[in-house]
Amino acid sequence: MTPACIPLPHRGVLALSGEDVHGFLQGLLSNDMERVRAGSAVYAALLTPQGKFLHDVFAVECGGTVYLDGESDRLDDLSKRLRRYRLRAKIAIEDASAGWTVEAAPQGAEHFSLAGAGPGETMRSDAGIAYVDPRDGRFGVRLLRPADAPTGLPEGNFADYEALRYRLGAPDGSRDMPVGQAFLLESGFERLNGLDWEKGCYVGQEVTARTHYRGAVRKQLVPVALDGPVEPGARIAVAGRPVGEMRSSLNGLGLALLRVDRIGDGAGLEADGAPLRVLEKGL
C-alpha cells in the first residue's frame, strides 16, 4: 500500500481541558489515562454502569488539552454524557471538529517520524498530532490534523482502511458495537489494548472484570469474508440454527459476532443465505 492519508470523516474530535481532566477521564474510561498524561495515545471506551458499550474513543494530549477522537454523528451524545459526570470537576468540554480532521496513514510511520515506534507513541508537528495506532501497530499511524495543515501525503481510499480494519478484526464504534448492548470483551477490546485491568474503578468496570475473570465470554467479534452484500444485523446460521449476527461489511469483508464454539471450523456458516467464512485476525 502506497503511503497516503485516508480521511475518516465519520470521526470527530472533543477537546477537554482543565486541571481535573485526567482524573475525570480516569474514572470514566476503560483504559489508563495516566498513559495519556505521559504522552502516549490510548484506545478506550465509555460504558454503561452495566458494562455495555456507549462510545469508543482514541485519546491523545497536546498542550495540556486531551483530544478525544469519537464518532462524529454521536459526538454530541458523548459530550452530554461526559457533562453529566462532570459535577464540580474543573474541566471544559468543547466540540473541536471544526478545527481538526481525523485521518489514518497505514504506511505513514516513516513520513511522520514514527518508524520503529510502538503502539500509542506520539509525534507532534505542523501536520498535527500523529501517533502509532494504539490498538495494533499494523494499523500504522492515526492523525489529528489541523483542518488547514497539509500532511505532505496524497489522499488515500477509505475502502483500503476498511479492508485493513476488517482483516485485523477491529470494531468501529456503533457500526459494529450496538449501543447499550455490546460488551467490550466480546468486541475484542482486550486484544486491541482498549482495557487496563490494573487501573482501578471506572464506569462499567465491575461487570467487565467479572466477565473476564470468570471466562464467561460466549460470543466474539471476528473478521469474515462474504459472498455478496449482507446487511448489518443479518442473522448468521448453520443448517438453519442461529449462531450469530452480522455487523458492518464492505467489498466482501466484514465483522460478525459469532458464538465462540462456532468460530473454530466455521463450516456451513451463512448470513441471510449468503456463504460466509471466518478469517484469521491478521494480514
Pull the grid cell for residue 101.
Answer: 480532521
Mean pLDDT of 47-52: 98
The total number of structural domains in the chain stands at 2
268 pLDDT higher than 90: no
Looking at 167, 184, 215, the residue that finishes a domain is 167
Does residue 201 sit in the same domain as residue 178? yes
Q: Which domain holds residue 139?
A: 6-167
Looking at 124, 151, 167, the residue that finishes a domain is 167
Q: Domain for residue 1, yes or no?
A: no
283 pLDDT higher than 70: no
The burial class, CB within 10 Å (0-12 / 13-18 / 19+), for 127 is buried
Q: Domain for residue 138, yes or no?
A: yes
Does residue 96 sit in the same domain as residue 197? no
Q: What is the number of residues in the chain?
A: 283
- The one-character DSSP state at 279 is P
**3-state class (DSSP) for residue 234:** coil
267 pLDDT higher than 90: no
Reported as a pLDDT band with limits 50, 70 and 90, residue 111 is: very high
Q: What single-letter amino acid sits at 8?
A: L
Does residue 14 sit in the same domain as residue 67? yes
Looking at 167, 184, 203, the residue that finishes a domain is 167
What pLDDT was estimated at residue 95?
98
Beta strands in the chain (DSSP E): 6-7, 11-17, 42-47, 53-62, 65-71, 92-95, 100-105, 122-125, 128-132, 141-146, 219-226, 235-238, 241-250, 253-259, 269-271, 274-278
Pick the closest to residue 59 from 84, 42, 34 (CA basis).
Answer: 42
261 pLDDT higher than 90: no
Does residue 25 sit in the same domain as residue 149? yes
Q: Domain for residue 283, yes or no?
A: no
Mean pLDDT of 11-31: 97
Does residue 185 sit in the same domain as residue 74? no
Pull the grid cell for residue 21.
Answer: 481532566
Does residue 90 sit in the same domain as residue 18? yes
What pLDDT was estimated at residue 213?
87
The CATH code of the domain that includes 273 is 2.40.30.160
Pull the grid cell for residue 32.
Answer: 489508563
Does residue 179 sit in the same domain as residue 156? no
Note the pLDDT tens digit of each residue in 126-154: 889 999 999 999 999 999 999 889 889 99
